[in-house]
Copies of this chain bind each other. A is one copy, B any other.
């Protein structure tokens, strides 16, 4: 089964998630700069979630460059990832409307963690669909970022629970920053692979 429709559907869902979040951004109550300031938390959490969805789209894009065929397990692992990502507007809005209260910030962190875990399961499903000699397995390499993200999310969640929500937000932002550097493994692998073929 080729990957084109899976990619198109994922692009569609991610495009909608990324833009649906702006619908949760209510326009300020009044016409002044202070009114705009009142919604600045919403703006920053929107920005963070936008960057996260952008990262997932970007990595999804890089990953499926190397995938040539998918099976039912990959389709469902992909839908699982999309499910957790589709909850970002919901958890982002809750966090925002409560002014970054403790529980919503923890729940947001759990959502980030669950999406990260779903991405990890998707990688495993692709590796299995490919068999032991697949190029994806080689291109993935050590997957350092993929391995340090879940502990960082957990530290953020614990920070929200016992220290402060601000510290938690810092950890969540740090993970995003780590991923903002594009996935050069894939890119360089594609380049090398293309040149040897």
- A positions within 8 Å CB-CB of B: 1, 5-9, 11-20, 22-23, 25, 27-28, 30-33, 35-36, 47, 50, 54, 57-58, 61-62, 65, 71-73, 75-76, 79, 82-83, 86-87, 89-90, 93-94, 97-98, 101-104, 107, 180-184, 187, 190
Contacts and interface: CB of A to CB of B under 8 A. Distances in A.
Contacts of A89: 22-23
B20 A14 contact: no
A10 B9 CA distance: 9
Given A11-B12, A19-B86, A1 B65 contact: yes
Contacts of A12: 11-12, 14-16
B22 A19 contact: no
A31 B182 contact: no
Nearest to A35: B103
Q: How many copies does the complex hold?
A: 4
A104 B28 CA distance: 9
B1 A184 contact: no
A90 B27 CA distance: 6
Given A16-B12, A22-B20, A50 B86 contact: yes
A100 to B, nearest CB: 9
- Which 8 pairs show the lowest CB-CB distances between chains A and B? A72-B182, A12-B15, A31-B101, A27-B94, A31-B98, A16-B19, A54-B79, A27-B93
B103 A184 contact: no
B187 A18 contact: no
Contact of A36 (B75, B103, B183): B103
